Structure 1
Amino acid sequence: MADKDTNSNKVLIITYYWPPAGGPGVQRWLKFVKYLPDFGIEPVVYVPENPTYPLIDKGLQDEVNPQAVIIKKRITEPYNWASAFSKKSTKDISSGIIPDKKKQSLLQRLMLWVRGNLFIPDARVLWVKPSVAYLKDYIAKQGIKTVITTGPPHSLHLIGLQLKKEKGIKWVADFRDPWTTIGYHKELKLGKAAAKKHKELEHEVLNTADHVIVTSPTTKKEFEAITTRPVTVITNGYDVENIERQTPDEKFTLAHIGSFLSERNPLALWQALQELVIENEDFKQAFQLKLIGAVSAEVLTSINSSGLSGFVNNMGYVSHSTALAEQRKSQVLLLVEIDSEATKCIIPGKLFEYMAAERPILAIGPNGADFAEIMKATNTGVFATYTEKDRIKDTLMEYFNKYKDGKLKANAVGLQGYSRKNLTAKLAELLKQL
C-alpha cells in the first residue's frame, strides 16, 4: 500500500485518560484503539506525558494495542499545585467526589471556585496551546486527515477546535459525558462570566466539529437543540475479558463497583435493607454489602445510620481485572446514578460490564433514565427510582429467595450489540464516511 493510502487511514485520538490511569474514563478509547486496526484504521494516540490521575491501574497497560502509535507531551497540572494544600481534597475533587455544601471547608470552597472560574472549561486547559503547536506539525508530517477528541476533560475539545480552524482537518468530538449539564457543573460555584464562557465554548465546539459522538439518546437530543452538526450515539460497552469463571459468593452479596459519590446516596435502599435484616433472620445471616471503589463519607454515614455497618465489606479501589472477577462472584450487582434531571442521560460504563457478568442488576436512578431502557431491553435486572422503597425491597427479597433455591442468575438477551468490537465497527464506519 502506498504511503498516501496508509496515511489516509491514520486517525489521531486526543485523550487525557490512558493507562496507567484507572477508573471508567480510560476504558472507552482504550478499547476502541484495541479494535480499530481490525477495521483498517491506524490509531495514533496523543496523551499527556506527566498526568495527575486520581486512580492508577497498571494492569491496563497490558491492554494497550501494540499496533497503536502513542505520542506524548508534558502538561501543566494545577492539581499538582493544589495538592500542596490538601492532597485528599485535591484527589476527591479531581475524581468528581464533591463534599456536601454544608460540610465543605473554606479550602474546599476556594478550590471549587478556582476550578470553576479560573480554569475554563477545566483544569487541563493549560495543555491546549502547547498541544496545538505540537500537533499542527505532527499531523502535517504524518499526513493525518482526521482528529478525534474525547472529553471530559472538555478542554481537549479546544485542541480539536483549534486544529480544525488552522489545519482544516476532519474533526470528531466525542462526549463521554455532557458539558454544561453534567452533574457536578453546578457545584463549581460559577460566576456569571464563567457560566457564559462555558456555554459559548460548548456552542462553538458543537457547531464546528464535523461529527459529534455521544453515549446516550438524551445527550443526543440535548446537543441537537444546540447544533445542526450530525450527532451519533455510540454507547460504552463490554469486552470479552480473559476472566476465569468465578464461583459465586457464599454470602448473598450486593456489590457496588465504582465511585459511590455523595449525590448517589439512595436512602430508600438503606431503609429497605435495614427492614430486611430486622424482619428476616435468614436474610440477616446471609447478607453482605460489598463496596468496591471510592466511597464518600456521606454514603458511609447513611449506611452506618441504618444499622448496616456490620454487613459491609469495603474493599476500596481494586484493579480492573479484580473488579471484573468480583462482579462475576457477586450475587447481585448494584448500580446507582444521581437522582436529577441532568443525569437522565448518564449511562454508566459499568452497566455493560455488569450485563456481561451474567448477574442480576438492581439499579436506582432518576425517573426516565436512559440506562433503564437498556436494562429493560436486555432483561438484565430491575430499575427503581429513589422513592420506590417497596419496589427495591421486593426486588431484593425476590433475588434472595432465588439465591436460597440456587436459581439466582440473569437471563440476558441482545447483549451482542454492546460488545466493544461491534461498537468499534460503528465508529469505523462513521470515520470512513467523513
Structure 2
Amino acid sequence: MEEARGCFTGREIFDLGSEFNKYKKKTNIDLTEEDIVFVSFPSIAIHNLGYALKQEFGCKLVLDYRDPGVFGYQLIEDNKILSTLRKFFLKRIETRNLRSADLVVTISESIRNFFPEKYRESVQIVRNGYDITKINFNLIQHHPNTFKLVYLGSVYNDQLNDTTFFKAVRKFIDKYA
C-alpha cells in the first residue's frame, strides 16, 4: 500500500471552521485519491476533519472508534437532558461521517453493537492488544505487595451500574491479600 502522503503535518487541528481554513493555507496539505486519512475517536471534531478532507481531496477515509461516542453511553458529566440534546444534534453529523467512510473500525463487538443497525455489519473489529516480542520483561520491577489497576479511557454512567468487575477484585483481594 502506498504510504499516505501529506496526512501528518506535525500539528494538531482542533477547530474545523475558519481555523481549519487558515491552517490549510499555511501548510502544504495536498492529498490525492490514493491517500488514506485515518482518524480516531474520541473526538467528533477529528471525524469531522476526516470528512472535510475526504470531501475536498477525494482521499479515502478510515474512522476508528475507541468508544461508541454519540451512539453509546451517556457521559458521566452530562445530565440526561444535556446528553439527549447533545446526541440529537451530533448523531446526524456522525451518521454523515459514517456514510462517507471507506472503512469503519472499532475495538470490540460490544461497541459495534451501539452503531445504527444500517452500518453495524460493515464495522470491522480490530481488538486492542500487544506484541509480546516487543516487551522487555527485565525492565518491569517486581513489587510483590503491590497490586495496581490502571484504566485509560472514559467511564460512562451505564458502565457504573455493572459491579461485576469490582466484585471480582474484592474476591481476589479477600483470597490473596
Question: Partner residue of 1:174?
Answer: 64
Q: Which residue, out of 11, 16, 37, partners 1:147?
A: 37
Aligned match of 2:135 in 241, 249, 263? 241
**Post-superposition CA distance 1:228-271 (Å, at most 9, x none):** 672111122224233525453242x221224698xxxxxxxxxx
Change in Cα spacing, 1:207 to 1:229, as seen in structure 2 (3 Å) is: farther
Residue type matched to 1:155 in 2?
Answer: A
Q: Deviations over 1:115-163 (max 9, x none)?
A: xxxxxxxxx4x245544672996234x7752211111122111011122
Once the two structures are superposed, what CA deviation does each residue of 1:185-217 show, in whole Å capped at 9, x if it has no partner? Answer: 761662865442111112111122111111111
Matched pairs, number: 171
- Structure 2 CA distance, aligned partners of 1:208 and 1:194? 21
Instruction: Provide the residue aligned with 1:398 in structure 2.
Output: 175
Tell me the residue number matched to 2:75: 184
* Structure 1 position 213 matched with structure 2 position 151: no
Task: Specify the alignment match of 1:114 in structure 2.
Answer: none
Cα distance between partner residues in 2 of 1:255 and 1:191? 32
Q: Which amino acid aligns with 2:36?
A: T
Distance 1:338 1:237, change over 3 A: same
How far apart, in 2, do the equivalents of 1:213 and 1:196 lie?
A: 23
Partner of 1:256: 149
The yes-or-no answer on 1:225 pairing with 2:163 is no
- The percent of aligned pairs where both chains have the same amino acid is 19
Q: Tell me by how many angstroms 1:183 deviates.
A: 4.7
Change (3 A) 1:163 1:339: closer
One-letter code aligned to 1:9: E
- The answer for unaligned runs of 5 or more in structure 1 is 1-7, 13-43, 47-70, 76-123, 262-336, 344-363, 368-383, 401-434
Pair 1:229–1:156, CA change in 2 (3 A): farther
Structure 2 Cα separation of the partners of residues 195 and 143 of structure 1: 32
**Counterparts in 2 of 1:227-306, with a 5 A limit?**
227=119, 230-239=122-131, 240-246=134-140, 248-251=142-145, 253-258=146-151
For residue 187 of structure 1, give the secondary structure of its aligned residue in structure 2.
coil
Match of 2:24 in 1: 134
Residues 32-431 of structure 1: matches in 2 within 5 Å? 46=8, 71-73=9-11, 75=13, 124=14, 126-127=15-16, 130-131=19-20, 134=24, 138-140=29-31, 144-180=34-70, 181-184=72-75, 187=78, 190=82, 194-227=86-119, 230-239=122-131, 240-246=134-140, 248-251=142-145, 253-258=146-151, 340=158, 343=159, 366=162, 384-386=164-166, 388=167, 392-400=169-177
Q: Pick the structure with more strand per residue.
A: 1
Return the alpha-carbon distance in structure 1 between the equivalents of residues 169 and 28 of structure 2.
56
In 2: Cα distance, 1:191 partner to 1:260 partner:
19
When residues 131 and 10 of structure 1 are mapped into structure 2, their CA distance, relative to the original with a 3 A threshold, is farther
Change (3 A) 1:202 1:230: same
Residue 162 of structure 2 aligns with an amino acid whose one-letter code is P
CA distance change for structure 1 residues 241 and 196 in 2, over 3 Å: closer, same or farther? same
Q: State the AA in 2 paired with 1:154.
A: I
Match of 2:47, SS state, is helix
Cα contact 2:112–2:120 (8 A) shared by 1: no
Aligned counterparts of 1:254 and 1:225: Cα–Cα separation in 2: 41
Tell me: CA distance 1:167–1:229, structure 2 relative to 1, closer, same or farther (3 Å). Answer: farther
Which 4+ stretches in 1 moved above 6 angstroms? none
SS in 2 for 1:256: coil
Residue 208 to residue 399, structure 1, CA distance change in 2 (3 Å):
same
Q: Which of the pair has the greater relative contact order for Cα pairs under 8 Å at 6+ separation? A: 2
